[in-house]
Structure 1
Amino acid sequence: MTASQEDPAELPQCPSVTGGGLLPGELRAWMLLLAATGAVEQRLRSVVKETLDVSHDEFLILCLLAEQPSEGLRMTRIAELLGRPKTRLTYQIACLQHAGLVTRKAVCGDKRGVEVALTDKARGLLGDASATLAETVGQAFAHVIGPEQREALCALVPKLPDGTH
């Protein structure tokens, strides 16, 4: 059985805000947030591939562009926001363009600038898949965030919902 298939009850306990370790509460909370984000990404990878037929990194690009006006974003800004090297981003954008999900155009007045925007096809696919993707994110967070982790994360995210109704 792999680590991802193990029963959550058998996994080591995540640190909490009262962990008694060397880390201050803010750093402990940050580490919990990183762990939770990693768990979400792990679950989301397969769902993204199945529903959109793109890699997780390509999905992140689509999500950035989905939140932009129709004119899109410059490639340098996308690389900056995702913390990715421009050369790797160029390859990912080319894959998305080949799939008909983004367009590229030169920026007016800047012969080196390239702007990327979603196509209608990509907007439709994201719209169709958004409920499934949002549910996956919610389930992944619910799986890794217990009461102690929630308490620790509240140090960084004070308005984190408690999941009770």
Structure 2
Amino acid sequence: MADADGSDPALVAAAQAGDRAAFDALLRRHYDRIHGLAWQMIGSRADADDIAQDVCCTLATRIGEFRGEAKVTTWICRIVVNACHDHRRRRRSFKGLTERLGVLAGLSRAPDGRDLHDAVWMRSAVARLKPAYRDVVVLVAGQQLTHAEAAAILGIAEATVSWRLHEARRLLGGDADA
């Protein structure tokens, strides 16, 4: 380690200079804070584990950006808070995608009777679709693009997008007549 005092600023400076031991010491010092803050904000230990791991990777790539204008702990906490906000956005986005997929398929409940909010079956069903069907489902239901926009992105006719969505609905179990 480059600096024997072991203070946060010294560890950051050494880590910025490429000292892996200093970066490791910095992570060890602050890991409990990172994980604890994520757990408090998200309310799930498993999600906090994932967020803490992501934050550690982020710190490795962003340590050079720390300019010392705030305390190291403040900077790290900001990164954790941003990671938690991103996690919540992804979760809301996925929940919305699941609900839109259910509407797309004409389902109010999963074929096995579970509530659509239990997204495991929908994620699994969409993952099993042929890639051509999955692409249009994700673009139209997930990204809320028009059929014309999805067609332009995929380089296919708008009518093909409509047909593939129809087939996806049938395969997802929402079109009993097909």
* Interval of TM-score (by shorter of Structure 1 and Structure 2): under 0.3
TM (norm. structure 1) is 0.25
Question: Which is richer in strand?
Answer: 1
TM (norm. structure 2) is 0.23
Q: Which has the higher contact order (CA 8 A, sep 6+)?
A: 1
Question: Which is richer in helix?
Answer: 2
